[in-house]
Amino acid sequence: MFGKFSRRHFAKLAGLSALGMAARPADAAAQPAAERPSPASFPKDFVWGTATSAYQIEGAVNEDGRGRSIWDTFSHTPGKIEDGTSGDRANEHYHRYKEDIGLIRELGARAYRFSIAWPRVFPEGTGKPNPKGLDFYDRLVDELLKNGIEPYGTLYHWDLPQALEDKVGGWRSSETSKAFGDYAGHVAARITDRVRSIFTINEAGRFVNFGYGWGIDAPGLKLPDADVNQVRHHVALAHGLAVQAIRARGRAGTRVGPAENIAACVPAFDTPENVRAAEVATRELNSGFLGVILEGKYTDGFLQFAGKNAPKFTDEELKIISQPNDFVGLNIYAPQFYIAASDKPPGWSVLPFPASFPHMNSEWLRVGPETIYWAPRLAAKVWNIETIYISENGTSSEDKLRADGQVYDLDRIMYLRNYLRQLQRATSEGVPIRGYFLWSLMDNFEWIYGYEKRFGLYHVDFETQRRTPKLSVAFYRDVVARNAIGV
């Protein structure tokens, strides 16, 4: 009986969509958003935004004096990018930025996180700045402000000037940390009259291991553990030098912090023992970057585990690294570690993932909505953080443009609905999360996956550069308008 019903039901639905009568994004929130009750509201002044990064969307890689980055080199190395593409053209955002800001406006989101391409500003990484290097970002920022959208800049989203890689070994050298500090000061002097919040470095937790340890990301190196730990230390040092430089050369009151993919620990299930264990694990598993920034030292556990491969550092460097931050950005996608209390030292253990654990369209993107509750809650507790932003969260989806011109990304909506519920749970319990940036505004060059993975709210046809809102645009617009999730 049920089978019969569901077959007929299915046939009916299929028929409707063949006639072009499936629900349209515009229908999704027929009743004006503000008039619907909001059982699960976010705090007043909660910042809703979206995020992108320079190499993933800008294109225009040879324009206005831009130098090469390690991602130009890497993406043009055969076999490195799954679909053999590069960011040469990407979304042509360098020229289409006004249209793209229009997309943000359509969402009603009042904040936008973008990144500045270091090789546009200093084509050689250091030395003489390119006179045209910041012009594009000036235009972008002015256009954002004109549209009532608050700009949040990121200084480093993985596009290291190739010249620094060639001359000093990139992040293998503290010369690169110093160059980053200079670049940060230069940018701050120019844009902090309008950009009030700056993220220094995006996801050290990814590019250090992927780029320097496992050869997966640019620059594609497979260095021994000791060198990888030293690279991470240099990146932390670069963060500290940038904080100092921004304070010295930026407008007073400019806010600064990292945007880190915290090693996200989740208690296997909620008991006081497991929660406590997850707290301790959060501190230990993040000691190499977030921990040293926020505590000014590596934990004994981290140093013991690293043994002879531990990074070499001075007390002076630790002081620089641990300059106070104004906020901490956390990029949250998937649960990384489910933690249980243990009788054996160190008192906690990481549980193995069953092969059947569900994931989204990207295999690495396991579904764990509670991660966006636990990671900020535990981080706030462990390091006494007063202001957190979710600097990225989102998912890829098949994102097929249907014959009726629509993209029904119901899996993305399912993912976002569940994560945002947990985010609301966190804010309602007082976890100090002040804003959320959805990754991503539009489909873009997804690093080693090329254009095969789509994370955007807007679908992009990379042949025609046409942007089309997916169903999730209507979903997110509704959340933003109501500052609430659920009905």
Question: By C-beta, is 53 or 254 nearer to ligand BG6?
Answer: 53
Q: Does 115 engage in binding with ligand BG6 (CB under 6 A)?
A: no
List the helix and strand counts (H, then E) for the chain: 17, 13
Is 106 annotated as catalytic? no
Contact between 362 and ligand BG6 by CB under 6 A: the answer reads yes
Q: Is 348 annotated as a binding residue?
A: no
192, 202, 286, 371: residue in contact with ligand BG6 (rule CB under 6 A): 202
In whole angstroms, give the CA distance from residue 331 to residue 437. Answer: 9
Q: Answer yes or no whether residue 336 interacts with ligand BG6 by CB under 6 A.
A: no
DSSP secondary structure string, 125-155?
SSSSPPTTTTHHHHHHHHHHHHTT-EEEEEE
Binding mask 426-465 for ligand BG6 (x = CB under 6 A): -------------x------xx-x---x-x----------
The answer to whether the beta carbons of residues 56 and 439 sit under 8 Å apart is: no
Q: State the catalytic residue, choosing from 124, 150, 203, 279.
A: 203
Q: Work out whether 53 is an interface residue with ligand BG6 (CB under 6 A).
A: yes
Tell whether residue 227 is a contact of ligand BG6 (CB under 6 A). no
Is there a binding annotation on residue 56? Answer: yes
# of chain residues touching ligand BG6 (CB under 6 A) = 14
Residue 474: HSE in the Cβ half-sphere, 13 Å Cα cutoff? 18
Assign 3-class secondary structure to 399-421.
CCCCCCCCCCCHHHHHHHHHHHH
**Residue 361 marked in a binding site:** no
Does the annotation count 175 as an active-site position? no
Both structure tokens of 150:
């608050």
Measure the N-to-C terminal CA separation of the chain; round to a whole number of Å: 32
What one-character-per-residue DSSP string does 81-137 give? STTS--TTTTT-HHHHHHHHHHHHHHHT--EEEEE--HHHH-TTSSSSPPTTTTHHH
Assess 58 for contact with ligand BG6 (CB under 6 A).
no
- d(CA 335, CA 351) in angstroms, rounded, equals 12
**Is 109 or 341 the residue whose CB approaches ligand BG6 more closely?**
109
Q: Of 282 and 362, which CB lies nearer to ligand BG6 in the complex structure?
A: 362
In the complex with ligand BG6, the residue whose CB is nearer, 444 or 468, is: 444
Q: Write the DSSP string, 312-364.
A: P--HHHHHHHTPPPS-EEEE--S--EEEEE-SSTTSEEEPPPPTT--B-SSTT
Kindly identify the residues of this chain, within the stretch 409-428, that bind ligand BG6 according to CB under 6 A: none
- Nearer CB in complex with ligand BG6: 152/447: 447
Place of tokens 């406590």: 276
206 contributes a contact to ligand BG6 by CB under 6 A:
yes
Site string for ligand BG6, 145-184 (x = CB under 6 A): ----------------------------------------
Q: Which residue number is nearest to ligand BG6 in terms of Cβ?
A: 446
Residue 206 phi, psi (nearest 5): -100, -55
In the annotated binding site for substrate, the residues are: 56, 157, 202, 333, 439, 446-447
Q: Which residues bind ligand BG6 (CB under 6 A)?
A: 53, 202-203, 206, 261, 331, 362, 392, 439, 446-447, 449, 453, 455
Catalytically active residues, by annotation: 203, 392
